[in-house]
């Protein structure tokens, strides 16, 4: 029995082809970093508008939004997108419940 069976119609070994990955330029990374900073400042300003509510009376959604806000600031870059999504959901709920 032949030990070298050719299942692919060729006896040459082929290396898999992967798509070429293009990383964003430093300029684009800087713009994204600046936009993230601007967004975080806007979110902080929005959340601070509710500081008049005593801590013991703050709705859970507001505390959760602050938690996610600070979590983003200390998160690894690969985790920040998921946290941003959660924070945006919190902000939508605050808008529905408190405004």
Domain spans of the chain?
26-98
Burial of 90 (0-12, 13-18, 19+ CB in 10 A): buried
Q: What is the pLDDT of residues 58-73, one digit of tens each?
A: 999 999 999 999 999 9
Rounded CA separation 49/45 (Å): 7
Nearest to 48 by CA among 32, 31, 65: 65
Q: Which two tokens stand for residue 3?
A: 């030990």
Residue 63, pLDDT score: 96
Q: Is the pLDDT of residue 85 over 70?
A: yes
CA angle 72, 35, 64 (to 5 degrees): 30
């Amino acid at each position: 029995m032949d030990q070298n069976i050719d299942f692919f119609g060729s006896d040459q070994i082929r290396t898999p082809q992967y798509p070429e990955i293009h990383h964003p330029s430093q300029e684009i990374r800087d713009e994204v970093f600046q936009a993230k900073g601007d967004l975080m400042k806007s979110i902080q300003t929005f959340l601070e508008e509710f500081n008049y509510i005593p801590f013991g009376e703050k709705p859970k959604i507001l505390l959760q939004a602050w938690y996610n806000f600070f979590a983003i600031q200390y998160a690894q870059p690969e985790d920040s997108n998921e946290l941003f999504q959660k924070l945006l959901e919190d902000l939508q709920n605050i808008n529905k419940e408190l405004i």
